[in-house]
Amino acid sequence: MDDPPRRTNNYNNDHFQLSHKVFGQGGYAIPKYRLLLLGLGLLNVVLFISAVVIGINCITVKQSYLHSRHPAAVQLFTELHNLLNNHSDLFLAEEEANRNFEATVKNHAMLQDQLKEKTIINDGYVKQLEALRTERTTLINNISALELSCGKCPIGFIHFNSSCYYFSYSESSTAKKNWYGSRADCINRGSALAVIDSPEEQAFLSNNIRKMITGRISWESGFWVGLTDIEEEGRWVWINNVTEVESRYWADGEPNNHGSKGGEDCAVIVHNSANPWKTRFDAKCQDHELYWLCEKVDE
């Protein structure tokens, strides 16, 4: 009986060839769809790189085209950019200037307040200086009075020739008395109302009154002296019983015995810069209150 044909070798050959096609030479099968995906991925990378290169070239070409075909537009854009930068700088400078201005205004207001304070302080110093000057003048007058007195006169009296004189104004510029009160004060001081019996004494008393009383000449700023016409109208007699016969010492129109009630019977002396001799007025002994002048004769 003939043996059946052997197919073993053919089967093995066919199987080997199929395996070789499917698995390849390494014996590992690579599906066809994976190869396809890999090829597409590589293609995408190539296309992306190409797009980037083309975009860069387009920008370069556009810039070159813009520079070559529209240089004025480029210049305008450049100037616009510069203007924007300048505007920003100007805005910042304006803000800084506003801050500096506000600071300057505040500083100016502060300086004005300081100036007002210093003005007030300065006014106070001026007033103090005036007060000190007045006090200095008073002290100088007192020193002069003491020097003139040389120990011969009581405190507050000024020495001249053989007499000591007291001017009430030198002690108080506000205290005033009528003629009778003035006479009583002189007596309490060991003296009497002044008796003027020489041109030298007249000049001395007038000059001292000038140092004390300034301003408009008026009998209201005068000094009582010991001269009256109480006993007999029109006959002026000193308190030492000496009748005054000189008329040149009376101011123009004096004595005028002004007033119907009581008349003006007591004498007042002032300083007259225009005429140092015409220094006397008559006034009401009881009603008028004035400064007074005492005299103490050296013993």
Lowest-pLDDT range, 105-109, 187-191, 227-231? 105-109
5-29 mean pLDDT: 48
pTM: 0.51
Task: Write the class of the CATH domain 156-297.
Answer: alpha beta
pLDDT score, position 96 = 85
Return the SS3 of 24. Answer: coil
What is the C-alpha separation between 177 and 193, in angstroms, rounded? 13
* Token pair of 264 as six digits: 């003006």
- How confident is the model over 55-63, as a mean pLDDT? 66
In whole numbers, what is the pLDDT of the chain averaged over residues?
Answer: 81
Which residue's structure tokens are 């075909």? Answer: 69
Task: Using alpha carbons, list the distances in angstroms from residue 147 to 8, 38, 138, 159, 186.
Answer: 172, 135, 14, 9, 22
pLDDT tens-digit profile of 181-227?
A: 999 999 999 999 999 999 999 999 999 999 888 766 678 889 999 99
Residue among 21, 275, 291, 265 nearest 173 (CA): 291
What pLDDT was estimated at residue 294?
A: 98
The proportion of the chain whose per-residue pLDDT surpasses 90, expressed as a percent, equals 38
- pLDDT, residue 54, reads 75
What are the residues facing 281 on neighbouring strands? Answer: 268
3 state SS of 163 = strand
